[in-house]
């Protein structure tokens, strides 16, 4: 049989991608999430894991178009990805290495945020990064006005502070 290293690598990779998408569509992610919740009893102790679980659960309940994660290290997106949400995970980071590393996680779409920090209130900067992700989703046609998105942020700057999960309606 043909492999990706054969005479027709582009056609082969497109066919494999089509098969993978079809297989993913057949999986009942919400049931897998519930099964993981029953078996991952010890993990739910830290703030990041608890926030990630809450975000995935909220995404199922409100039929969110995306989960937006503001991250420094990428750890929060990694944990969200583990629980296999049905929607894309838009991960906004200021660090190019983190953005590159996030490409390997299921459902993660890393967004490298280049503008510097806004002077003034920290929440204005958070809102600007969330809007950056929403604008990307609108351009990519998977977020529309009126859709819900779930947003994970931290309570302060830096790694290890993700503890806030919000559901926003897109304007």
Quick check: 94 and 129 in contact, CB under 8 A? no
User: 160: closest CA among 86, 76, 93?
Assistant: 76
Please tell me whether the overall predicted TM-score, pTM, comes out greater than 0.85 for this model: no
Q: How confident is the model at residue 20 (pLDDT cuts 50, 70, 90)?
A: confident
pLDDT tens sequence across 75-126:
999 999 988 888 999 999 999 999 999 999 989 999 999 988 777 777 888 9
Taking CA 155 as the corner, what is the angle to CA 151 and CA 161, rounded to the nearest 5 degrees?
90
User: 76: closest CA among 47, 109, 115?
Assistant: 47
Where on the phi/psi map is residue 155: left (φ > 0), alpha (ψ -120 to 50), or beta? alpha
């Amino acid at each position: 049989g043909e492999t990706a290293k054969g005479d027709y690598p582009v056609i082969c990779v497109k066919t494999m991608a089509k098969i993978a998408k079809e297989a993913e569509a057949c999986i009942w992610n919400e049931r897998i999430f519930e099964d993981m919740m029953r078996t991952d009893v010890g993990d739910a102790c830290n703030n990041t894991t608890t926030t990630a679980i809450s975000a995935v659960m909220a995404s199922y309940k409100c039929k969110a178009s995306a989960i937006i994660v503001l991250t420094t290290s990428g750890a929060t997106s990694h944990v969200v990805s583990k629980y296999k949400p049905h929607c894309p995970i838009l991960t906004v980071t200021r660090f190019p290495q983190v953005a590159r590393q996030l490409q390997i996680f299921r459902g993660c779409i890393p967004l490298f945020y280049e503008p510097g920090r806004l002077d003034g209130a920290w929440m204005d900067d958070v809102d600007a990064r969330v809007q950056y992700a929403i604008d990307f989703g609108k351009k990519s046609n998977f977020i529309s006005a009126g859709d819900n998105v779930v947003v994970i942020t931290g309570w302060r700057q830096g790694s290890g502070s993700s503890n806030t999960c919000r559901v926003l309606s897109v304007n």
